[in-house]
Amino acid sequence: MRPVTFLADNEVTLLRSGTDYFPALIEAIEAAQYEIYFETYIFAGDDTGQRVQNALMAAARRGVVVRMITDWFGTGNARVKAMHAQLLEATVEHRVFNPWFRRGVTRTHRKICVVDRQVAFVGGININDDMFCDYDHSVALTAPRWDFAVAVRGPLVAAIEQEAQAQWARLGKMGLFKRVRLYRELRKVNKIAAQSTVQAGFVVRDNLRNRVAIQRAYLQALGKARKSVLLANPYFAPGRKFRHALARAAERGVEVVLLIGVGEIWLQDAVAHSFYPKLLAAGVKVVEYHKTQLHAKVAVIDDDWATVGSSNVDGLSLFLNQEANVVIKDAAFAHSLREQIELAVADGVVVHPQDFEHVGRFRRIGYEVAFVFYKLLMRVFSVGKYA
């Protein structure tokens, strides 16, 4: 498997939830002089969304080239139409990803912003208020949504911008030969020798050249794990390879902790529960998070490998949707993210093997049926890649 290409001499800042993310994002947009590439899954019409939209429109009005992509399904048709008219009036170039499922069921789930080729933001944070559910903006949360992004400065920004430019081009009118030439250009990777302690790589998943790139990055790191694995994700429904990699790591003595968000979607919870017995038997520690909506897609492996991004550990993210993660090899960054995950683990509920002794027969069967149904759907949508 091709490894992640790490570029040295980057500055990577961890941003926790909207409290850190939105001020940093808006500050960068307001300071922009030349160009902004912006892509997101959800762009809500709440106060948070309006602040970000206003900043983007103000940048366009002062002459900055602003190119913006929003997902049609994630943002919603009514919101997309209303926002589109406002953006065009402010000279923001706006394209909508896969309206009315014209290109199948694939969504862009990525959250990317690149400003002036100087700073890039990547993570799991949508453009919506921290205190309301992202799947239902009328439902208030008891605590701010638990989520992360990173701000990147340094050589990796060029790779992130290249992908943002390519996505913009793909959504425009391009002939076949231009598309082939674009993909060839994107396969060219400029490698930089490691000269500093901070190294980072940008990993995307799509349905052409990077169909399993993010899963590969995880599997390689899990295979090399020697001390610990901390993985936090809201939707845990990976394929067999991923589950086996977690179990094998635990069986060889690695401390493996899964922090899983629950309570949003019954089917998703049931599928995750169907995996618990085997994972627990292998020595994996499973913790369910109930304090608020867990939306982060983060992991720390051993002392210096960490990832922050948009990719869930489920069939949709690993095998169908377009996703983007940053992988960081740096002890200080890994330590800071580890601290955040450990605090959330302390707020969670540990699942013990004996908890399943009291689960009724019909509920157990329901978990298995849910998994079979989910697996069938994912194999159809991902053309057999999910297994």
Q: How many residues does the chain have?
A: 387
Q: Which of 46, 302, 303, 347 is flagged as catalytic?
A: 302
Say whether 111 is catalytic: yes
Q: Which of 295, 314, 330, 375 is flagged as catalytic?
A: 295
Q: Which of 94, 297, 329, 375 is flagged as catalytic?
A: 297
375 vs 352: CA distance, rounded Å: 25
Q: Which residues contact 32 (CB under 8 A, 6 or more apart)?
A: 59, 64, 115, 116
Say whether 297 is catalytic: yes
Q: Which of 71, 94, 109, 129 is flagged as catalytic?
A: 109
170 vs 173: CA distance, rounded Å: 7
Say whether 302 is catalytic: yes
**DSSP 8-state assignment for residue 155:** T
58 vs 64: CA distance, rounded Å: 9
294 vs 144: CA distance, rounded Å: 9
DSSP per-residue letters across 156-188: HHHHHHHHHHHHHHHTS---HHHHHHHHHHHT-
Q: Which of 9, 20, 46, 116 is flagged as catalytic?
A: 116
Q: Which of 109, 112, 120, 110 is nearest to 7 (CA)?
A: 120
Q: Which of 102, 83, 79 is nearest to 93 (CA)?
A: 83
User: For residue 268, how many C-alpha atoms fall within 13 Å in the half-sphere facing its CB?
Assistant: 15
Say whether 116 is catalytic: yes
Helices (H), the chain: 17-31, 47-61, 72-75, 77-89, 156-170, 176-186, 213-224, 240-251, 266-282, 315-319, 331-347, 361-381
- Residue 173: burial class (beta carbons within 10 Å; 0-12, 13-18, 19+): exposed
**DSSP 8-state assignment for residue 132:** B
Query: 109 is written with which tokens?
Result: 């789930």
Say whether 314 is catalytic: no
Say whether 295 is catalytic: yes
CA distances to 10, 44, 56 from 24, in Å: 17, 18, 14
Q: Which of 94, 111, 273, 375 is flagged as catalytic?
A: 111
Residues classed as catalytic: 109, 111, 116, 295, 297, 302
